[in-house]
Amino acid sequence: MQKIWVNDMNPRTTATIEELECANWFSAVGQFDLEHVKILSTWDEAIDVCVRTAWRDITFEAKNLLTERIFKAGRERFNDWNNILKAIEPNVKDLVRRKIGKVAHDYDLPELFTKCVEWDIRMLLMESEYSDVCQPGFFSALAFFYVKGHFPCGWEGQHPQGRLIVY
């Protein structure tokens, strides 16, 4: 296992990265081994769903709710957002590129797939980084599916009712 975290970050962030590093991303795609989610059967379906505006809106709203909770918890911590984001960015890109490289190549997945995964992991690490001031939520929930070998890629129904779509 390659150690990719060198910055002085929240221990939860480091633990999150280590868990993601050890997981076999996408090893269970298409397997119907989960409950309470809609499971897709192909990469084509997954890509079609993950690039939809509705899914991007849900994930962007989750990011907005995170920053709102951080701001309410304390303006000083909120003001660290951009510096923390800048510090984690190289680590996000490195981890994601290594973890998706083979599947992206083997299935000729578009760059939008990479961007979707980077967004999820970036926001997951931001949730982890701010876990001292607010409980991790949406992106930590998505991380569960990456660790289990799936790709969380969309939502069925009117959020927050409905269910997550995974491949």
115-132 pLDDT tens trace: 999 999 999 999 999 999
pLDDT higher than 90, residue 1 = no
Confidence of residue 7 (pLDDT cuts 50, 70, 90): low
Q: Per the domain annotation, does 16 fall within a domain?
A: no
- Residue 32 in any domain: the answer is no
Residue 4 has what pLDDT? 40
* Structural domain includes residue 13: no
Tell me how far CA of residue 56 lies from CA of 61, 73, 88, 136, 145, in angstroms: 8, 26, 21, 19, 18
Nearest to 167 by CA among 148, 52, 158: 148
Q: Residues 88-113: what's their mean pLDDT?
A: 97
- Overall domain count for the chain: 1
Q: What domain range includes position 52?
A: 37-166
Tell me if 123 sits within 8 A of 65, measured CB to CB.
no
Residue 52 has pLDDT above 50, yes or no: yes
